[in-house]
Structure 1
Amino acid sequence: MTATTGATTDFDLTPDPRVLQMLGEINLAQWRCLAELVDNSIDGFMSAERLGDSITNPEVVITVPRTDTAAARVSVRDNGPGMSSETLEHAVRAGWSGNSPVGSLGLFGMGFNIATARLGLVTEVWTSRVGDPHEIGVRIDLDELKAQRNFRVARQTRPKADHAAHGTEIVISKLKPEQRAWLARGQNTTTMRKHLAKAYSALLSPERGNAVFRLDLNGTRIQARRHCTWNPERHVESPVGTVHAVERFNVALPSRRYCTFCMQTLADGEAVCPTGSSSCSVGTLERRVRGWVGIQRYLHDTDFGIDIIRNGRKIELGIKDLFEWREGESSEIEYPTDDQRKRGRFVGEIHLDHCRVSYTKDRFERDDPAWGEMVRLVRGDGPLQPLKAKTLGYGANNSPLFRLFQAFRRTSPQGKNGLWSRILVVKDNERALEMAGLFESNDTDYLGDERWWQLIEEQDATVLGTPSPVMPGGPAVPVHGDIPLGFLDDNFGGSRAALDSPSPGTTISPPPAPDRKPIFELTRKYVHPTYRVEYDVQGYAVSASDPGLSSGHPWALPLVDVATRTYAFLTDTAHDLYRSTTMTPLDALLIELSHRTMDFLRQTAADVTFASILADFRREYCADTRLDAGEIIVEAASTLTQIAASLQGKVTNSEGMILHDELSAPAREAIGRRMVARGVAAPREAIASGSFLNYADPQTIWDFFVKHPELFLDGKYWDDPFVALDYGSPEVTEEARRVVRARYDGYFADAVWLASQSPRDLERNGRDALIRASLSLKLLRPDMAE
């Protein structure tokens, strides 16, 4: 085909203006739209700093509509260095980026166009530099561009009162009706603040030094949303050595060459960008992966995971990808698996500046080699489960997440006398969540982890049967006149006034402060869920002779501070009342609060009963002691599975084959069928390693223990001696071993029975059966770390 005579040699590839409107159809959350514009402000601050002309008190001010009106608009204003006319022209052009894809946050152009078109139809940008006599601006009206069918818009100017002023403002008007309505709702403004506080936490409140910039939304300063983690100095000893509650890493990687135009990392040996564009420019990329992984002070079913950061902004929040073991097309969730309610507490922040992100900047590109490199560095090459890793031939793993997994993946202690301090878990998670709310509100008493640690110390004291620990220095109780009436009863004949104002010449010694040990587990705010009656309570364990208790009474609840409505729950924990499996200090406190609530509501809620109030309080504050049939059944299956998995790695290949052959033919066939159903590709290896027991039914696991208790006792899974027993007489020793076997037979019988029940069937067996079954499961927990 020949060229037409007189035809031009160039094609006009300027996109149709409708392209911008189509960009606005990309589903980008409102807070991410604002973040796109904030990113470019931050780049301006950082660019000025690199040029040695840092901005004093850098800030970005966002304004969103408070009412749903046609005049509503969105504004993002900064005091950055501003732009020249040429830079402004490029900045608003679709797809243009004047920034390094590695060293900058913004991709001013595509991100700008998507964000503004998503919110509204008209965008104005005004900017000026120090010394400029006026601001220059551009107005982009999508409807007008569509009508004129080209991208030409006029350059505008407006006078500037202060020639020393500088910065940029982006104003979006003609907001789309659905966006206008959403933005005007006050609750959504709060939600956006929370998202922005998380996304920019590394820049609003870095670990060292001052914040990079200040961020305001509708007149409220956005504070960094920090993770509620345990003190990094707290640590435990585990099979992989000393593991801290926060494990940090900072690893320099070999530099790579990359294209500043295509944003592609070049393969080893490549000198030029394979795209071959004349605009391509290859440079050297310095690479580093740094950050931390740690555990937060509470458990949550969704609020956990790893934040991935690019140049200071969190692109992905709370992802769970690193908790999965991926091999080919298959994947397996490895955490959380040790909590019945699937709650997790692993959190972290990983800075990954050299990995590509999506054009909407809400996800890192998983096919970028840098992503896989980071995953291997943070969690290792193999599974987090050590036995599985060993079976698959993986070597030693000392990655940060692997270490954290080994020490802290559990949410309840191992063994019959397991200590909560070994896993840093507050047993009453509802209390831990309540305290986390105070942490997020910047309550100074809860910023550190001391209050959480006090609860753990109490829990350990209960396990060990020792008195509750006392706060450092003891619970000093003042005895002067500023103590609210009722906190300390005067145990002498005179009046309180006599104590405060003794007669001239008379020396009166105040009574000694009673020995009161704080019960941190009970110290909290109690709120009735229906009637919202509130009580601030401080719990204390006291002696029977405490002046706050009437003779022989097990507890008292005096009001100790009228202004704050604070009560002191004083209870004699040695009282005969508590020598019972059905009565605890928490039960006593809830009974007392129910009585007081009943008295308070007697005149306003005629139909209220003591029983209903107590039931509500117990439902709210006794969740951990609920006998939930469904949860008990799940725990039974999980317990048996864990026992079966412990065999793996404890036998040689020949022993594994022998143990498998000892099983009955029906048991072997059932195991084989489960291997087929679960896609086990190498059944002979599974048999040789002992992992065949992972595919056994509950009864087979029990039968296996009966025949081979020596594989689980003597510190292999439980501490109880078996082979090690020696009474000097073979007959007596064998009798002692039979006693151990019989005891575990009882536990196994309960667990196997539970695993075969439905929740409805189990409920029909009554409360006592549920209590016994729960205790059996507790006694089957491992004593040894895997």
Structure 2
Amino acid sequence: MSNDTSSPSVINIQPSARILRVLGDIEFEPWQCLAELVDNSFDDFLDIERSGIAWPDGYKVSITLPKSSTPVTEAEVVVTDTGRGMDLPTLNNAVRAGWSSNDRFSKLGLFGMGFNIATARMGRLTRVLTTRSGDTEWVGVVIDLDNIGDDFNVPVIRRPKTTASEHGTVVEIARLDPFRSGWLGRNLSKFRTTLGDVYPYLLAQKPFHLFANGVKVNPRRPCAWDSSRSVTYGRGSTAEQIPAVREFNKKLPDAKACLTCGNWEPVDRETCTECGNGQLVLKERSIRGWIGIQRYLHKTEFGIDFLRNGRKILRYDKRLFEWTDPNDPLATPELEYPIELGQGGRIIGEIHLDHVPVNYQKNAFEWSDRNWISAARFVRGEGPLLPKRAKQLGYPPNDSLLASLHRGYRRNDPGYRCLIPGNGTGPIHGTTLEWRDKFHKGEPDYQTDEKWWEAVVYHESKLASPTPSGQPSSGGSPGDVLSELGLTGAEQDNSNNGASVAEQPPAPAPKPETERERLARYRDGATRVPELSGEFGLTEFGATVNVDVHAVSKCAVKDNNGFRTPVLLARERGREYGAYIDLQHPVFKDFADEPADYLVVELANHLKTRAEHEMPLAQAVALLKERQLSDLKVDAATLAGQARELLADIREQMAEAIKENPDRAWQFLTTDERATTETNLVVEAAGVNLKDMEATGEFLLYTPLTFTPRLVEEWPEAFMDGKVFKGLYDTVKTPAGKRISVGRVASYLYDAALTAEAKIAQPAQLFRCRLSLQLLRNELAPVKAEV
């Protein structure tokens, strides 16, 4: 070994200037880069607010992006704010990579690291200029990644001020990366929407204003049901009202936070046990926010947003919908919502976790941190969300916030039961997506949930009406029939019991009814049809029309020439039209035609005529139905999902109905059905004892689907008379009547089972099964909604 005493005891490991260029390789989306700069501005604004200083110039951040047509060599991104500004020493620290004076628990940004990553990712040249009120000039630095030396020295620049009262910071980025510059130029509208989704809390709850190319960024509000809405889950003494929105604010014990490493310490500690630093600050902590139900179903737009200091870290996050068995080291996450993968979900929320640390990219929390684990446990509980799964594994009932919503809203059946808009035959998911777009565009009629609620009520009213009018199809007096047909007294028999016409006093000539009066008469007492109302048009025909559809049952609908018509389309003003469906028209009684079919014909004819287009009318009708009435399509996969959901609900109710005598139901299973049941149990509920399921009746949930209707046939008194199905049985006197009552329900159940197993393909079969699902829903014992 060498004894050279001249060897140094320390060495300098200052990084090469190349480290700044390497930061640009860290993966950041273009919007994330600019959000980093916005974070720093908003941090300054929050500091000003907390200080209580008056700020008459307002809180404004402006982002200027290059146009898509601007040459890359000339393109620049500029971010300006009206904050306090900085002096040169503070600016020097602010742009040093890895340095930050920020309190990591009350600030959005870690200015040094986030700033350098964001600017290096966007371009090769960055200028930062800043000034305070009263300063004589703007002062700044130029960071040129292509020319900076290993001494990290960068030139200072100065600019004159227009007025001494100017204040704020300007970041200018040039020599832009072509891909990121091009993305921003092509996606300006999407960029604004993304920022509005990332900062909705600060933009809505604080006096902060954010602009992109001169256009204000508006907060993207959640399209959730009103908190006054609810569903009823369960029956009898176990029934519970579950509101569509659950708000909460769980106060946690105060603690001291280490500003160096982020560790939390008890309030009596003076130094950090992790890093030994003495910079401990007492902080309040809480888990606050809300979770609720979205007004529309979507395959990706659902999940919970998690925020830190007002900025979203996770958007539409779905990790709380999974559960992993902590007692099984080899367990994989079990997805508990949505239960029908093809249909999507609608549970959403906004949860503030200001005390939980995040990563540098601000797109994830520190998952192993005990504060994140504690917050997740508070929202979703320790055990599974699915009641039967929790019971199988020995967990107590899950009464967490998320479990409550999951119980009440995990299914997607239309009507009061699940708070899903429908049209009397099924859900109208396509229509609610159109309403979502109108909500986000700010259209006044779509801001509250009234449109959605109206469709829920309409669906229930259609189910309650055995005929289109909601009244018996016969039995009225002759006068009632003539009135329904729109006949006046002059059109009736004038014999007057043998008296001659000459003996009658002359009646004054009736005043002709104007078109406005006639349309008002149609609307009087009519029912609005929300799933058929909306904007209609074809790109081939140009401008669209807005149609408000009403179902008329009190009188016949006639056009201006006195001809009766199944559907009347009438212009009211501008592009606004009214459509009136004659529910008593013979065509709806004598044929299987739907009002929507005739409405589309009228609309197609009107649009084609107005556009003077040569497209065949039949093709125009076909295109309108395909593009704008997708909810009426008969799709095997969609029907299968609806059938599985409906049968799962029915089988849960049936299992509850037989729990006092489950052995009797078990005896009806054949040998093959018992084997299939046991196999299903092993696959779907691993580790559960079949004997336990037999003792509670829950084995029924795992039996073959076709066993369900057979059990109803074998043991009808367990399920009829309002227990599960509202059809009568015990009070029916004749054997034939009993068979008819039970057979009707069983036939619908057989169709539903075949549909759920995707064993149908022919169009005629699909139409039959769709109708069977509708009729089966009608047969369920009613659950009254709390409005």
Distance in 1 (alpha carbons) for counterparts of 2:19 and 2:219: 36
1:502-549, CA deviations, whole angstroms, 9 ceiling, x for partnerless residues? xxxxxxxx9995351362423321112544452222324455466755
Distance in 2 (alpha carbons) for counterparts of 1:394 and 1:453: 36
Distance in 2 (alpha carbons) for counterparts of 1:447 and 1:601: 33
Distance in 1 (alpha carbons) for counterparts of 2:182 and 2:18: 24
Letter paired with 2:370 = P
Distance change (3 Å), C-alpha of 1:46 and 1:598 = closer
Tell me if the contact between 1:60 and 1:214 (Cα under 8 Å) persists in the aligned partners.
yes
Structure 2 equivalent of residue 260 of structure 1 = 259
Listed as ranges, the matches of 1:343-358 within 5 Å are 343-358=344-359
Distance in 2 (alpha carbons) for counterparts of 1:709 and 1:366: 52
Is 2:110 the counterpart of 1:115?
Answer: no
Distance in 2 (alpha carbons) for counterparts of 1:441 and 1:374: 34
Structure 2 equivalent of residue 473 of structure 1 = none
Letter paired with 1:671 = T
Distance in 1 (alpha carbons) for counterparts of 2:109 and 2:39: 5
Distance in 2 (alpha carbons) for counterparts of 1:362 and 1:755: 39
Identity of aligned residues (%): 34
Distance change (3 Å), C-alpha of 1:284 and 1:734 = farther
Structure 2 equivalent of residue 775 of structure 1 = 771
Question: Which ranges of structure 2 fall in alignment gaps of 5 or more residues?
Answer: 471-508
Structure 2 equivalent of residue 401 of structure 1 = 402
600, 617, 631: which one pairs with 2:638?
631
Is 2:554 the counterpart of 1:554?
Answer: no
Structure 2 equivalent of residue 316 of structure 1 = 314
Structure 1 equivalent of residue 528 of structure 2 = 519
Distance in 2 (alpha carbons) for counterparts of 1:581 and 1:120: 68
Task: Give the SS at the match of 2:375.
Answer: helix
Is 2:443 the counterpart of 1:443?
Answer: yes
Structure 2 equivalent of residue 204 of structure 1 = 203
Structure 2 equivalent of residue 223 of structure 1 = 218
337, 345, 358: which one pairs with 1:335?
337
Distance change (3 Å), C-alpha of 1:10 and 1:169 = farther
Tell me if the contact between 1:193 and 1:217 (Cα under 8 Å) persists in the aligned partners.
yes
Residue 645 (structure 1) shift: 4.6
Residue 20 (structure 1) shift: 1.9
Letter paired with 2:105 = V
Listed as ranges, the matches of 1:532-681 within 5 Å are 532-542=542-552, 544=555, 550-561=562-573, 564-580=574-590, 582-600=592-610, 602=612, 604-605=613-614, 608-646=615-653, 663-678=669-684, 680-681=686-687
Structure 2 equivalent of residue 683 of structure 1 = 689
Distance in 2 (alpha carbons) for counterparts of 1:322 and 1:530: 45
Distance in 2 (alpha carbons) for counterparts of 1:721 and 1:272: 74
Task: Give the SS at the match of 1:139.
Answer: strand
Residue 150 (structure 1) shift: 2.9
Residue 557 (structure 1) shift: 2.0
Distance change (3 Å), C-alpha of 1:647 and 1:236 = closer
Structure 2 equivalent of residue 474 of structure 1 = none
Letter paired with 2:384 = P
Tell me if the contact between 1:193 and 1:222 (Cα under 8 Å) persists in the aligned partners.
yes
Distance in 1 (alpha carbons) for counterparts of 2:545 and 2:15: 65
Distance change (3 Å), C-alpha of 1:779 and 1:451 = closer
Distance in 1 (alpha carbons) for counterparts of 2:641 and 2:302: 23
Letter paired with 1:384 = L
Distance change (3 Å), C-alpha of 1:359 and 1:282 = same
Residue 99 (structure 1) shift: 1.0
Residue 164 (structure 1) shift: 1.6
Distance in 2 (alpha carbons) for counterparts of 1:638 and 1:451: 25
Distance in 1 (alpha carbons) for counterparts of 2:44 and 2:656: 57
Tell me if the contact between 1:518 and 1:538 (Cα under 8 Å) persists in the aligned partners.
no
Letter paired with 1:136 = V
Between stretches 152-161 and 366-375, larger displacement belongs to: 152-161
Distance in 1 (alpha carbons) for counterparts of 2:528 and 2:168: 55
Is 2:89 the counterpart of 1:94?
Answer: no
Residue 644 (structure 1) shift: 4.3
Distance change (3 Å), C-alpha of 1:570 and 1:778 = closer
Tell me if the contact between 1:183 and 1:189 (Cα under 8 Å) persists in the aligned partners.
yes
Residue 641 (structure 1) shift: 4.6
Between stretches 445-454 and 112-121, larger displacement belongs to: 445-454
Tell me if the contact between 2:409 and 2:418 (Cα under 8 Å) persists in the aligned partners.
no
TM-score with structure 2 length normalisation? 0.83
Distance in 1 (alpha carbons) for counterparts of 2:256 and 2:290: 27
Tell me if the contact between 1:131 and 1:164 (Cα under 8 Å) persists in the aligned partners.
yes
Residue 299 (structure 1) shift: 2.1
Tell me if the contact between 1:298 and 1:425 (Cα under 8 Å) persists in the aligned partners.
no
Residue 686 (structure 1) shift: 4.3
Residue 309 (structure 1) shift: 0.8
Tell me if the contact between 1:675 and 1:695 (Cα under 8 Å) persists in the aligned partners.
yes
Aligned-pair Cα RMSD in Å: 3.4
Tell me if the contact between 1:122 and 1:141 (Cα under 8 Å) persists in the aligned partners.
yes
Residue 29 (structure 1) shift: 0.9
Distance in 1 (alpha carbons) for counterparts of 2:643 and 2:446: 36
Structure 2 equivalent of residue 482 of structure 1 = none
Residue 628 (structure 1) shift: 1.9
Tell me if the contact between 2:119 and 2:173 (Cα under 8 Å) persists in the aligned partners.
yes
Distance in 2 (alpha carbons) for counterparts of 1:777 and 1:555: 27
Distance in 2 (alpha carbons) for counterparts of 1:353 and 1:236: 32
1:79-119, CA deviations, whole angstroms, 9 ceiling, x for partnerless residues? 10112222212111111121111111111111111111111
Residue 175 (structure 1) shift: 1.0
Structure 1 equivalent of residue 163 of structure 2 = 162
Distance in 2 (alpha carbons) for counterparts of 1:511 and 1:656: 61
Letter paired with 1:632 = L
TM-score with structure 1 length normalisation? 0.83
Distance in 1 (alpha carbons) for counterparts of 2:645 and 2:451: 32
Tell me if the contact between 1:251 and 1:290 (Cα under 8 Å) persists in the aligned partners.
yes
Tell me if the contact between 1:712 and 1:718 (Cα under 8 Å) persists in the aligned partners.
yes
Tell me if the contact between 1:382 and 1:394 (Cα under 8 Å) persists in the aligned partners.
yes
Distance in 1 (alpha carbons) for counterparts of 2:292 and 2:275: 44
Task: Give the SS at the match of 1:350.
Answer: strand
Distance in 2 (alpha carbons) for counterparts of 1:372 and 1:784: 41
Distance change (3 Å), C-alpha of 1:734 and 1:81 = same
Distance change (3 Å), C-alpha of 1:232 and 1:667 = closer
Tell me if the contact between 2:254 and 2:267 (Cα under 8 Å) persists in the aligned partners.
no
Listed as ranges, the matches of 1:170-189 within 5 Å are 170-185=171-186, 188-189=187-188
Distance in 1 (alpha carbons) for counterparts of 2:102 and 2:250: 26
Structure 2 equivalent of residue 504 of structure 1 = none
Structure 1 equivalent of residue 228 of structure 2 = 233
Structure 1 equivalent of residue 30 of structure 2 = 30
Letter paired with 2:94 = A
Distance in 2 (alpha carbons) for counterparts of 1:366 and 1:254: 21
